[in-house]
C-alpha cells in the first residue's frame, strides 16, 4: 500500500509540475465539444437533445488522448524496469498509474463538463446528472485506456492503435453514461444507471490490473 | 485438449495439417456444392421474404463463425499465455483475419438483405451494432499483433487483448441490446419471429457445416503460411 501511495503521489507531483499536459487535454475537450454546435447549428432543442452524448464522446476522446504517455515515459527512462523489480505487486503499480490518470483527467473533465453543458442549454438537474455520471464512469475509461496503453507500449503508431483497442471496450460505459442523462426527460430512475456505471467500473477495477500487469511484464522482457 | 498438445510443436503440426488438408479441401468443395444447390435451387422461397431469404444461407453461418472465431482466438490466447505454445501464437495470427472477414461478410450480406426487407442498408439494430463492434475487436487484434517489430511481443499483447475482449463481449452485447430497446421501439421485422421451417433449416445447417469446413481449411492453410514465414524470418536473421 505504501508503494501504491508513493507511486500515486509521484505521478500527481509530475503532473503538478507540468500543468501544461493536463491543460492541453482539457483544452482539447472544450474545443472538440464547441465544434459540435458549430457543425450542427445553434438550434437550442437539438443541442439540448444531443448534449449528453456529445459531452460523453468528447470526454472519452480526451481521456484517450492523454493515455499514450501513461506508461511510455516510465518505459523510456527505465522507471518501469524498477517497478517490475519492486517487491510489491505490479498490479498495484498499474492501478496507481490509472488512479493518477483519473485524478488528473477524469476528475477535471467531470467538473468541466457541466460548464459546457450550460452552453448546450441543459437544465440544472441534467448538469448535475452529467457530472455524477462522468464521476462514476471516467474511472472505467482510465482503466480500459490504461490497459490499451500497456498493450501498445513500444508499438509502432501507438496512439491511434490505443484508441482502436480501447474505444470498442468503452462502449458499455458510453451507452449507460449518456443514457443516464436522458432518464431525466423520460422519468426513469437515474440511480439505476449510475449503479450500472459503478458496476462497470468495479468490473474494470477487478479485471484490468491483472491484464495491465501481464502486458507490462512483457514490455519489460 | 490434452490430446491436442502433441500438435503444439509447429513442425509436427505442419506434418499433420499437410496430411489432413487435401481431404479437407475436397470435403469443403463437395460440401459447398451440395449446400449451394440446396440453398439456391432446392429450398423454397420464403412466403414473406421471397428469394432474399437465400442471403440468410450465407449470412447466418458467417455470423456464427465470426463469433466462434473470436472464442477460438481467446482460447488460443489463453494457451499462449499459460502454456506458451508457439503454435497458438501463429494460429491466432492466422485466425484473426479469417474471423474478421466472416464478420465483414455477415455485415455486408446483412445490409444487402436489409435493403429490400427493411428498406434500408443499415439500421442501428442491437444485433447489427454488436456485430460491428465484434468486427472492431477483430481489427484491434489484427493491428496489435502486427504493431511490434518483435513478433512475439505482438502475439502476447494480442493474446491478452483477446482474453479481455471475450470477457467484455457479453457486457457489450448486453449494453447494446439495452441501448437499442431504449432508443427505438421494436418496429422492424425480425427474422427469428416465426420458427424456421425445416425446408429452410436443413440447407441452413448444411451451409453452416460447409462454412465451418471452409473456416478450418483457411485457418490451417494460413497457419502453415505463418509457420513458413516465421522460419524464413529466422533464417534471414541467422544468415
Higher pLDDT: B179 or A111? It is A111
Q: Is residue B11 part of a domain?
A: no
B contacts of A151 (beta carbons < 8 Å): 144, 157, 160-161
Cell of B20: 489432413
**How far is residue A123 from each of residues A41, A133, A143, A179, B224, measured CA to CA in Å?**
19, 15, 31, 16, 61
Q: How far does the CA of residue A161 sit from the closest CA of chain B (Å)?
A: 7
Sign of CA dihedral B1, B2, B3, B6: positive
Q: Which DSSP string corresponds to A59-95?
A: HHHHHHHTGGGTTHHHHHHTHHHHHHHSSS-HHHHHH
User: How far apart, in whole angstroms, are the C-alpha atoms of residue A45 and residue B106?
Assistant: 38
Q: Is residue B13 part of a domain?
A: no
User: How far apart, in whole angstroms, are the C-alpha atoms of residue B89 and residue B237?
Assistant: 20
**Confidence check: pLDDT of B187 > 50:** no
Query: Which residue reads 505454445 in cell numbers?
Result: B85
Q: Do B160 and A211 lie within an 8 Å CB cutoff?
A: yes
Q: Does B161 touch chain A (CB under 8 A)?
A: yes
**Confidence check: pLDDT of A190 > 90:** no
Q: Is residue B227 part of a domain?
A: yes
**Confidence check: pLDDT of A61 > 60:** yes
Mapping DSSP to helix (H, G, I), strand (E, B) and coil, where does residue B25 land? helix
- Residue B62, domain extent: 22-42+55-185+197-238
User: How far apart, in whole angstroms, are the C-alpha atoms of residue B46 and residue B193?
Assistant: 13
Number of Cβ within a 10 Å radius of residue B82: 10
Sign of CA dihedral A38, A39, A43, A44: negative
Q: Locate the chain B residue with the closest alpha carbon to A168.
A: B133
Residue B4 confidence (pLDDT): 61
Instruction: Tell me the pLDDT band of A213, cut-offs 50, 70 and 90.
Output: very high
Q: Is residue B8 part of a domain?
A: no
**How far is residue A101 from each of residues A154, A161, B236, measured CA to CA in Å?**
19, 19, 43
Strand partners, B46: B50
- Residue A201, domain extent: 2-220
Q: What percent of chain B has pLDDT over 90?
A: 37
Whether the CB-CB separation of A96 and A171 falls below 8 Å is answered with no
Number of Cβ within a 10 Å radius of residue A95: 21
Kindly report which listed range (A109-123, A125-139, B20-34, B185-199) carries the lowest average pLDDT score: B185-199
**Confidence check: pLDDT of B184 > 60:** no
Higher pLDDT: A214 or A182? It is A214
- Residue among A156, A215, A218 minimizing CB distance to B147: A156
B contacts of A182 (beta carbons < 8 Å): 182
Nearest CA to A108 out of A179, A23, A166, A35 is that of: A23
Cell of B233: 524470418
Residue B1 confidence (pLDDT): 45
Number of Cβ within a 10 Å radius of residue B83: 12
Radius of gyration of the CA atoms of chain B, in A: 20
Q: Which of residues 168-187 of B touch A (CB under 8 A)?
A: 168, 171-172, 174-176, 178-179, 182
B contacts of A199 (beta carbons < 8 Å): none
**Confidence check: pLDDT of A198 > 80:** yes
User: How far apart, in whole angstroms, are the C-alpha atoms of residue B7 and residue B32?
Assistant: 28
Length of chain B: 239
Q: Is residue B14 part of a domain?
A: no
Residue B225 confidence (pLDDT): 92
**Confidence check: pLDDT of B137 > 80:** yes
Whether the CB-CB separation of B131 and B107 falls below 8 Å is answered with yes
| Number of domains composing chain B | 1
User: How far apart, in whole angstroms, are the C-alpha atoms of residue B195 and residue A122?
Assistant: 46
Q: Do B175 and A161 lie within an 8 Å CB cutoff?
A: no
| Number of domains composing chain A | 1
Backbone angles phi, psi at A89, to 5 degrees: -60, 140
- Summarize pLDDT for A145-189 with one digit per residue, the tens: 999 999 998 888 777 889 899 999 999 899 888 888 877 777 677
Whether the CB-CB separation of B41 and B33 falls below 8 Å is answered with no
Residue A141 confidence (pLDDT): 94
Q: Do A165 and B163 lie within an 8 Å CB cutoff?
A: no
Q: Which DSSP string corresponds to A113-136?
A: HHHHHHHTT--HHHHHHHHHHHHH
Q: Do B153 and A208 lie within an 8 Å CB cutoff?
A: no
Average pLDDT score, chain A:
89
User: How far apart, in whole angstroms, are the C-alpha atoms of residue A142 and residue A166?
Assistant: 10
Amino acid at each position: 500500500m505504501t508503494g501504491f501511495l508513493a507511486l500515486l503521489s509521484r505521478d500527481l507531483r509530475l503532473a503538478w509540475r507540468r500543468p501544461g499536459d493536463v491543460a492541453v487535454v482539457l483544452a482539447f475537450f472544450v474545443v472538440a465539444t464547441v465544434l459540435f454546435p458549430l457543425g450542427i447549428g445553434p438550434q437550442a432543442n437539438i443541442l439540448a437533445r444531443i448534449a449528453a452524448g456529445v459531452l460523453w464522446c468528447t470526454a472519452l476522446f480526451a481521456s484517450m488522448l492523454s493515455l499514450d504517455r501513461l506508461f511510455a515515459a516510465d518505459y523510456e527512462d527505465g522507471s518501469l524496469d524498477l517497478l517490475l523489480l519492486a517487491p510489491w505487486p505490479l498490479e498495484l503499480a498499474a492501478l496507481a498509474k490509472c488512479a493518477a490518470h483519473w485524478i488528473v483527467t477524469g476528475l477535471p473533465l467531470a467538473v468541466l463538463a457541466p460548464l459546457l453543458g450550460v452552453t448546450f442549454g441543459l437544465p440544472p438537474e441534467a448538469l448535475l446528472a452529467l457530472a455524477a455520471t462522468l464521476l462514476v464512469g471516467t474511472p472505467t475509461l482510465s482503466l480500459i485506456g490504461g490497459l490499451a496503453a500497456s498493450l501498445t507500449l513500444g508499438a509502432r503508431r501507438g496512439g491511434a492503435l490505443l484508441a482502436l483497442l480501447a474505444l470498442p471496450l468503452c462502449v458499455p460505459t458510453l451507452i449507460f453514461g449518456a443514457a443516464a442523462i436522458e432518464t431525466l426527460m423520460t422519468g426513469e430512475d437515474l440511480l439505476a444507471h449510475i449503479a450500472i456505471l459503478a458496476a462497470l467500473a468495479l468490473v474494470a477495477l477487478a479485471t484490468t490490473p491483472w491484464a495491465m500487469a501481464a502486458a507490462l511484464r512483457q514490455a519489460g522482457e | 485438449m490434452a490430446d491436442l498438445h502433441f500438435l503444439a510443436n509447429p513442425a509436427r503440426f505442419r506434418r499433420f495439417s499437410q496430411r489432413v488438408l487435401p481431404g479437407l479441401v475436397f470435403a469443403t468443395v463437395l460440401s459447398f456444392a451440395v449446400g449451394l444447390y440446396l440453398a439456391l435451387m432446392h429450398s423454397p422461397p420464403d412466403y414473406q421474404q421471397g428469394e432474399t431469404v437465400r442471403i440468410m444461407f450465407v449470412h447466418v453461418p458467417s455470423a456464427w463463425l465470426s463469433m466462434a472465431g473470436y472464442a477460438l482466438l481467446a482460447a488460443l490466447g489463453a494457451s499462449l499465455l499459460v502454456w506458451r505454445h508457439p503454435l497458438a501464437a501463429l494460429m491466432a495470427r492466422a485466425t484473426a483475419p479469417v474471423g474478421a472477414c466472416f464478420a465483414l461478410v455477415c455485415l455486408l450480406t446483412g445490409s444487402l438483405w436489409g435493403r429490400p426487407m427493411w428498406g434500408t442498408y443499415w439500421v442501428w439494430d442491437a444485433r447489427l451494432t454488436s456485430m460491428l463492434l465484434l468486427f472492431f475487436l477483430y481489427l484491434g487484434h489484427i493491428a496489435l499483433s502486427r504493431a511490434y517489430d518483435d513478433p512475439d511481443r505482438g502475439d502476447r499483447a494480442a493474446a491478452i487483448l483477446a482474453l479481455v475482449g471475450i470477457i467484455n463481449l457479453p457486457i457489450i452485447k448486453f449494453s447494446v441490446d439495452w441501448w437499442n430497446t431504449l432508443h427505438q421501439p421494436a418496429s422492424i421485422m425480425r427474422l427469428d419471429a416465426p420458427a424456421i421451417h425445416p425446408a429452410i433449416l436443413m440447407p441452413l445447417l448444411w451451409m453452416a457445416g460447409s462454412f465451418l469446413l471452409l473456416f478450418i481449411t483457411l485457418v490451417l492453410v494460413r497457419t502453415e503460411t505463418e509457420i513458413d514465414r516465421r522460419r524464413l524470418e529466422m533464417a534471414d536473421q541467422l544468415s
